[in-house]
Amino acid sequence: MPAVGQPAVALVHDWLNQYGGAERVLEQLVGMFPQAPVYTSMYWRDGMPAAYRTWDIRTTWMDRLPGVYRHHQLYLPFYALAFGRMDLAGTAGDTTGGTAGGADVVISNKSGFCHAVKTGTIPHLCYCLAPTRYVWQFEGYAAREHLPGTVRVLLRPLVAALRRWDYHAAQSAALHFVAISTEIQQRIRDFYGRSSEIIHPPVDVDRFAPVASHDDTYLIVSRLIPYKRIDLAVKAFTALNLPLVIAGDGRDRAALEALAGPSVRFLGRVDDAELVRLLARCKGFVLPGSEDFGLTPLEAQASGRPVIAFRGGGALDTVIEGQTGVFFDAATPESLMDAVARFEAQSFDPRVCRANAERFAPEVFRAELMAAIGRVLDHG
């Protein structure tokens, strides 16, 4: 049963086979509503944090598909079918593990297709991490993933059909959109024709703290995949012969190491304690790609460290130019090198960086989300 005065909630999440920013948001939602069932397409029990095993996770028939945990992208067309048939109002469709007919509100944590669940008269608040990227921004996605031309040609009719389906799903009268950033709010307007309010994702600022001194090393913490644009930073810092440490792993690692000069060092994945230490000790944090929101620049600022970021995406909401960092305007090594020069010529107050990060603390997220839920319930 929910706490006294708290609405009964059902949570919906696209898939549970990998850990990232979406899952951090889901953890906050489960923390707010610990009795809420979590509906998802599939759940890789052994690949996700052990704490998830205490949750009430309810999967669809997709959980039984061969190889879906490690290769979920191959099943792209099936997610629309799975979530389109999921009826949380309890009147029809496939809801393996039961229905959410007793819920006062459904909250979907969406970057894919889970906003399409049927809720009947139950209000549905969609916390939109991003409109489905490989549906609405297919050409850019295909280019970043280096999809062969023949594959792109074959996929375009499918993507066009999914786009029509996705748009239709977003028009539900029960659906209320919340965007994670100004960038995502604009995409919701452009792609779905819907308005939204902004509630930024929570950042666990209490994990981080400024220290008395820092090193001369710049830092990146990221998965090493194409859209993160780590290549820009590797080229820029190699040309500048400035120390850059890259924490994280991914399929681009070998290619990036081949680009790197002696001033660039790859650490691979690091544990939480080492991450906290790296963020507190770095000279500056580098965000070379455009993120929908981006938690790590705020974790750096919570550690008192300023940021060099591409001028786009969520960084526009989280970095204050001249106070907590600098921007570069073009996705080129030369533009990033110019930003590094401007960064080196400035000084940044760790207290200002920390204060900016605290605007995104979990308690702020929880208060804003509860207020949004109240408005949704008031208006139906």
Q: What is the pLDDT of residues 66-92, one digit of tens each?
A: 999 999 888 988 999 999 999 998 643
Check: CB of residue 191 under 8 Å from CB of residue 210.
Answer: no
Residue span of the structural domain in which 125 resides: 9-202+361-379
Where do the DSSP E strands lie in 104-257? Answer: 105-110, 124-128, 175-179, 196-198, 218-221, 244-247
Q: What is the pLDDT of residue 326?
A: 98
Contacts of 309 (CB under 8 A, 6+ apart): 286, 287, 297, 315, 319, 325, 326, 327, 328
Whole-prediction pTM: 0.88
- Residue tagged 């489960």 (tokens): 30
Q: What is the pLDDT of residue 183?
A: 95
Low-confidence ranges of the chain (pLDDT < 50): 91-98
Asked if 271 and 170 sit in the same domain, the reply is: no
Q: What does DSSP assign to residue 118?
A: B
Q: What does DSSP assign to residue 270?
A: -
Asked if 278 and 237 sit in the same domain, the reply is: yes
Alpha-carbon distance 89 to 101, whole Å? 5
Asked if 115 and 259 sit in the same domain, the reply is: no
Check: CB of residue 5 under 8 Å from CB of residue 374.
Answer: no
Domains identified in the chain, total number:
2
Q: What is the pLDDT of residue 73?
A: 83
Asked if 155 and 167 sit in the same domain, the reply is: yes
Q: What is the pLDDT of residue 328?
A: 98
Q: CATH number for the domain including 46? A: 3.40.50.2000
Q: What is the pLDDT of residue 348?
A: 97
Cβ atoms within 10 Å, residue 257: 14
Q: Is residue 4 part of a domain?
A: no
Q: What is the pLDDT of residue 117?
A: 96
Asked if 232 and 180 sit in the same domain, the reply is: no
Q: Is residue 1 part of a domain?
A: no
Asked if 85 and 198 sit in the same domain, the reply is: yes
Asked if 179 and 319 sit in the same domain, the reply is: no
Q: What is the pLDDT of residue 124?
A: 97
Q: Is residue 79 part of a domain?
A: yes
Query: What does the pLDDT look like over 129-162, one tens digit per residue?
Result: 999 988 998 887 777 777 788 888 888 999 999 9
